[in-house]
């Protein structure tokens, strides 16, 4: 395979053409240097052991003088040689090379501190801060820019002395270097602004600084977006001209990306983006220059990655989130074990969202990511009989891990197929990655010898008759279609985000609509259990409602979504923004801050502001409000067996990430 042919970047030879893309992690230690400690080394070693040819590190600062960083390492003193060398030697043991990504600052993307002048933010020009437009970033003086160049030279000298193999300049995502390159953010009239030559002066001086510090033939990667896909931002034509000028400046390889935080569907491609969505940009760049080009962006499908190389669209493949999901991706591809690859779902929930929330990096489908040492799966001290009730993602992950540890595992599923609510989740074509996850889990429990019994509706008596050492209950949840009693008010159910059942109880005509089949649940629509008409109203504008609406709109249905607050607030904002754009493109309407008052033979009566009432014609009304946990068996088993655990949606309806994490972490300890 082309993926496993040696490749060259400048003077540097790589054992294969698979590169780990740089990712923000929060794993470095939070001291004044933000040095990389054992946790980050373990994280990199796991990917080196898995077979990548080159690892590009998390971004590292060259100085802390300019911004208050968020825990990134800073290569700003000779003391850094020691910990950089520790990292380099750890990955070199596996024949993997190491590239340090350098970044002088976030610029307008920096989270502001309101207590500081200008929020403590800097930029090429006095432009609004991305996160708080009311704060205007401080314009850097020429002398400060020149000092940044000297900082780069010093950091490069340290990196070379530490035995690192290459340096990458982070000029992507609208960060500081990118801002200097782009007229949308660079309004300067001095030598660092104006025409393209002026706007490129700063990055070209940084390239020269790396050469002075690390050596004139030291391998340099330059990562930038060929286009921002943003009005006023970089277009492809200028992006290609930049590529030619970077080649002339002596850059060894171009790492081609797209977008920025203002166009997140490109800069951080979510679930809904197609595989290989950025490959055409790498291909254009490769035609414009003679130096190697790295392609990135949803390339976790090995056959696609191989095809990109075979067709000459790029010289190297960069994988970010796919290597979070499965550090052994290269090894499994080389061995032909494609069915064993843990697929990235593009959800951002386990990686970027956790980082935004102030947590360390992890992965929705690989809970050990970022805690490779602590969460190693080890053989059980005593083999036990384990009963898993429920064949959804939580149950299958628990069965998989328990079987890996040597336990005897039986899985009961009341239906006749595995998957639970993951089956309906994976139906839309833009959720193809969830189908890959479903296929992976089914394959693994089969290969590991888990005894699977279908048509088994577990009861207290049946479980007690089996008398397992451990019972793991993963009975999931079902859509709410009528009021449900709860402890909160004693009358009807409520939830943190939407009092769904209370809401249901107030909708006139809903019960008769359900009886006639004119009102159905999103699960029934997705699984084609009930017919969907040509005109559809979806009640509930969360993740499930909007994705169901998008799926139907793309089938040519006339779709409206009714939501009582802002739409998709249960989704990470980058994913939600892309779904919103796709809904608009598909012609679906999303009506926010509206209530459904009544379901009639003609459609749905809705209300917004007081006195604002209208009727939406609809053949079908789809309920996509919330799920109700199936927790009866858990409650019945308490005190009846030595070990009883509840995981997944039967605890509370949540995300696939929560189901997988609870299945993994529970089975790891029994």
The DSSP bridge partners found for residue 386 are: 409, 470
Cα 615 to Cα 595, 596, 601: the distances in Å are 12, 10, 11
The C-alpha atoms of residue 384 and residue 403 are separated, in whole angstroms, by 10
Residue 458 structure tokens: 């577990």
Q: Which residues contact 609 (CB under 8 A, 6 or more apart)?
A: none
- Among residues 42, 52, 66, the alpha carbon closest in space to that of 19 is found at 52
The C-alpha atoms of residue 289 and residue 31 are separated, in whole angstroms, by 41
Place of tokens 């970077």: 246
For every residue of 82-117, which 3-state class applies, written as one string? HHHHHHHHHHHCCCCEEEEEEECCCHHHCCCCCCCH
Cα 258 to Cα 186, 264, 271: the distances in Å are 19, 9, 16
- Among residues 274, 411, 238, 334, the alpha carbon closest in space to that of 17 is found at 334
The C-alpha atoms of residue 366 and residue 112 are separated, in whole angstroms, by 32
First to last CA, the chain: 41
Q: Residues 365, 366, 367, CA angle at the centre, nearest 5°? A: 110
Catalytic residue among 175, 440, 503, 645: 175
Side-chain half-sphere exposure of 500, counting CA atoms within 13 A? 20
The C-alpha atoms of residue 26 and residue 605 are separated, in whole angstroms, by 49
User: What backbone phi and psi angles, to 5 degrees, belong to 543?
Assistant: -55, -55
Q: How many residues does the structure list for the chain? A: 670
Residue 547 structure tokens: 């994705």
Side-chain half-sphere exposure of 622, counting CA atoms within 13 A? 35
The C-alpha atoms of residue 658 and residue 665 are separated, in whole angstroms, by 10
Side-chain half-sphere exposure of 13, counting CA atoms within 13 A? 4
> What is the pairing mode between strands 97-103 and 122-123?
unpaired
The C-alpha atoms of residue 306 and residue 329 are separated, in whole angstroms, by 13
Question: Strand, helix or coil at 200?
Answer: coil
| 8 Å CB contact between 576 and 582 | no
Question: Strand, helix or coil at 26?
Answer: coil
The DSSP bridge partners found for residue 171 are: 224
> What is the pairing mode between strands 97-103 and 166-171?
parallel
Contacts 24+ apart (CB under 8 A), 331-338: 331/50, 331/51, 333/1, 333/3, 333/302, 334/1, 334/3, 334/4, 334/51, 338/302
CA dihedral (647, 648, 649, 655) in degrees, to 10, reads 160
Q: Residues 303, 306, 307, CA angle at the centre, nearest 5°? A: 85
| 8 Å CB contact between 172 and 257 | yes
Annotation says 175 is catalytic: yes
Query: Inter-axis angle of helices 432-447 and 393-404, to 10 degrees?
Result: 40
List active site positions: 175
């Amino acid at each position: 395979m082309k993926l496993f042919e040696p490749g060259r970047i400048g003077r540097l030879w790589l054992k294969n053409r698979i590169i780990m893309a740089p990712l923000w992690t929060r794993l470095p230690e939070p001291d004044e240097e933000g040095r990389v400690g054992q946790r980050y080394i373990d994280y990199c070693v796991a990917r080196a052991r898995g077979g990548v040819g080159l690892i590009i590190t998390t971004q590292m600062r060259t100085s802390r003088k300019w911004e208050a960083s968020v825990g990134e390492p800073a290569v700003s003193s000779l003391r850094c040689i020691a910990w950089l060398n520790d990292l380099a030697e750890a990955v070199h043991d596996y024949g993997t090379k190491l590239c340090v990504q350098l970044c002088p600052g976030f610029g307008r993307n920096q989270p502001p501190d309101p207590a500081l002048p200008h929020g403590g933010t800097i930029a090429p020009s006095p432009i609004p801060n991305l996160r708080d437009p009311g704060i205007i970033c401080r314009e850097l003086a020429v002398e400060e820019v020149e000092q940044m160049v000297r900082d780069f030279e010093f950091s490069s000298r340290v990196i070379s002395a530490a035995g690192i193999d290459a340096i990458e300049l982070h000029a992507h995502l609208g960060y500081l270097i990118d801002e200097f390159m782009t007229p949308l953010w660079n309004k300067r009239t001095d030598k660092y602004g104006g025409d393209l030559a002026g706007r490129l002066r700063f990055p070209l001086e940084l390239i020269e600084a790396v050469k002075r510090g690390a050596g004139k033939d030291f391998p340099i990667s330059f990562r930038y977006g060929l286009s921002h896909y943003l009005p006023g931002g970089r277009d492809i034509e200028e992006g290609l001209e930049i590529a030619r000028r970077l080649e002339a400046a002596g850059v060894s390889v171009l790492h081609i990306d797209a977008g920025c935080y203002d166009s997140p569907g490109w800069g951080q491609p979510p679930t809904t983006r197609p595989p290989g969505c950025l490959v055409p940009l790498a291909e254009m760049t490769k035609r414009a220059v003679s130096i190697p080009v790295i392609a990135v962006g949803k390339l976790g499908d090995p056959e696609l990655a191989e095809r990109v190389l075979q067709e000459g669209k790029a010289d190297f493949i960069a994988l970010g989130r796919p290597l979070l999901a499965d550090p052994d991706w290269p090894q499994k591809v080389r061995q032909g074990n494609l069915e064993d690859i843990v697929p990235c779902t593009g959800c951002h929930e386990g990686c970027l969202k956790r980082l935004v929330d102030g947590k360390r990096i992890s992965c929705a489908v690989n809970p050990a990511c970022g805690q490779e040492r602590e969460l190693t799966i080890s053989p059980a001290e005593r083999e036990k009989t384990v009963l898993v009730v429920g064949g959804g993602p939580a149950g299958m992950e628990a069965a998989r891990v328990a079987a890996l540890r040597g336990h005897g595992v039986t899985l009961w599923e009341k239906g006749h197929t595995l998957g639970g609510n993951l089956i309906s989740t994976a139906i839309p074509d833009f959720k193809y990655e969830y189908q890959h996850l479903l296929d992976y889990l089914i394959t693994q429990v089969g290969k590991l010898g888990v005894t699977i019994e279908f048509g088994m509706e577990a009861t207290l008596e049946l479980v007690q008759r089996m008398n397992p050492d451990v019972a793991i209950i993963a009975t999931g949840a079902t859509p709410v279609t009528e009021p449900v009693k709860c402890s909160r008010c004693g009358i009807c159910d409520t939830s943190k985000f939407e009092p769904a059942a209370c809401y249901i109880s107030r909708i006139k005509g809903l019960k008769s609509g359900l009886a006639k089949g004119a009102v159905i649940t999103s699960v029934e629509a997705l699984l084609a259990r009930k017919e969907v008409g040509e005109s559809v109203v979806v009640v509930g504008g969360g993740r499930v409602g909007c994705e169901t609406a998008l799926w139907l709109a793309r089938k040519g249905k006339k779709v409206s979504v009714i939501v009582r607050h802002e739409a998709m607030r249960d989704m990470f904002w980058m994913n939600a923004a892309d779904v919103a754009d796709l809904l608009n493109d598909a012609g679906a309407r999303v009506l926010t801050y509206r209530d459904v008052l009544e379901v009639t033979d003609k459609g749905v009566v809705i209300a917004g502001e007081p006195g604002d009432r209208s009727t939406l014609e609809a053949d079908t009304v789809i309920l996509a409000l919330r799920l109700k946990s199936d927790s009866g068996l858990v409650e019945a088993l308490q005190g009846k067996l030595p070990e009883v655990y509840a995981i997944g949606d039967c605890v509370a309806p949540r995300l696939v990430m929560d189901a997988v994490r609870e299945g993994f972490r529970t089975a790891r300890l029994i």
